[in-house]
Amino acid sequence: MLAFIHKFAYNLFCMNIGIFYNPLQTEQSAVRTLMRMIEDSGGKPLVFSELDRVEGVDRLIVMGGDGTMLHAARKASESDIRLVGINYGHLGFLTEFERGEEASAVKLAMDESCPLLERAMLEVNLNGKKTFCLNEVSLLRGVGENCGNKTVKIFVTIDGSAAGVFNADGLIVTTPTGSTAYSLSAGGSIMMPECSTFQLTPVCAFSLRSRPISYPDRYELQMFLSESGSVSVFGDGSYLGQAGKNDKISVRKASRKVIFLTRNKHDCFRRITQKIN
């Protein structure tokens, strides 16, 4: 009877710790080691190699690079699953830990009172099709023998007011989280994660007057091609579709968000210095 009570209590209070890993970056032996660490810490490991199967977890440990983290973040945002990453990729800007720090990652995942970082997301609407992005949405002119070498003209409104016509290779709309990614390479500024702003960054603009614009994240941004031609639309690096003159793209703050587990909520500049310089 006592053994039954102990087993019942274990099943009732045992934390389900999910492991999502990128098979192209993570060895099976590393996954098995992480599973044993979770079990030794009193948790129940659930392993996933496909995002659409992730469910029934209290926390999610992600093993991979920044691309893997971005995909996992979108899935985790659907159910408010807290997540933490271990870098098995290249840069690992979105991951909290590096390879070899698995024990520390498990300890943080099992800590119900650890600090949390809430990150805003974009809701992108392309002709009625919605997509959610953590980093950015980008509009880029086509490249190829049938595309020519012309820039595109994109008309932009912010909160219903005209923000200008950008003659450029494209535009990027970024969150504070994504401000250190593609937007930064295109000349955008770094935004602290706590900022309640988004940023519009032109890509190789033809005019010296075209500069990045930061605006309150409560505003909706809309983009239209002002002339013939088309652009490819990408969300966090994934292809979303083509847009032409008669298409409308709107971007606003999503109702969902991504919640990261962290050791230090005020570690942003150390991470920027170590990872980007």
Annotated catalytic sites, by residue?
A: 66
Distance set, CA 69 to CA 21, 33, 174 (Å): 10, 20, 17
Alpha-helical segments (H) within 121-259: 182-185
For tokens 């800590």, the residue is 111
Sequence-ordered list of residues with C-beta below 8 angstroms from that of 81, at least 6 positions apart, any chain: 18, 54, 57, 58, 59, 60, 75, 259
What's the helix, strand, coil split of the chain in %, to 5? 25, 40, 35
Structure tokens at 264: 């230090």
d(CA 224, CA 227): 9
d(CA 221, CA 206): 21
Q: In which order are the strands placed within the sheet that holds 197-203?
A: 213-216, 197-203, 170-174, 136-141, 230-235, 238-244
For tokens 């990872």, the residue is 275
